[in-house]
Amino acid sequence: MTHVVRPDIRRSRVSLEGEAVIQGPDATWRVPLGDVSVTGLHLPLPPGFTLPVGQALEVELHCGPPEEGIDLLLLARVARTDATTLALRFAPMPVRLETAFEQILAHYGTLRGGTCEPAVGF
């Protein structure tokens, strides 16, 4: 599959192939990626996830095609939960990491609904 770099989606929420491994204080959850942006994630709520809003977490992102082996370790906080979804907001990143992450999203991400949407705070 040929991927085209799309600079218009670097700050948008995109669908990205992969998995998030969420490490809380006492448990770990593995969740398929949902909507991703450089500011955070919106994911299906993992079974047994009961951490409160504001809880700090580590998030490993294993993303892109499996043969690419793209792995990122990011810090995040629980932004909100509901009966079916979880939103995490990433901690500020060093500029080089943020730039690399933007490039990953632009290269491998798919726009939701085929349109460019501005990033929404998580």
CATH number at residue 64: 2.40.10.220
Nearest to 17 by CA among 60, 61, 73, 63: 63
Query: In this predicted model, what pLDDT tens digit does every residue of 91-111 receive, in sequence order?
Result: 999 999 999 999 999 888 887
Q: Identity (one letter) of the amino acid at 88?
A: L
Residue 2 within any structural domain of the chain: no
Q: For residue 14, what are the domain limits?
A: 7-110
What per-residue confidence (pLDDT) applies to 12? 65
Residue 77 within any structural domain of the chain: yes
What per-residue confidence (pLDDT) applies to 48? 94
State pTM to two decimals: 0.80
Residue 122 within any structural domain of the chain: no
Residue 55 within any structural domain of the chain: yes
Give the phi and the psi of residue 113 in degrees, each rounded to 5: 70, 10
Residue 117 within any structural domain of the chain: no
Nearest to 80 by CA among 112, 120, 107, 118: 120
Which range, of 32-36, 73-77, 116-120, averages the lowest pLDDT? 116-120
More confident residue, 90 or 66: 90
Residue 119 within any structural domain of the chain: no
Residue 116 within any structural domain of the chain: no
Count of domains observed in the chain: 1
109 Ramachandran zone, left/alpha/beta (phi>0; psi -120 to 50): beta
Residue 21 within any structural domain of the chain: yes
What per-residue confidence (pLDDT) applies to 1? 39
Q: Give the model's confidence band at 11: pLDDT under 50 very low, under 70 low, under 90 confident, else very high.
A: low
Tokens representing 33? 């990626």
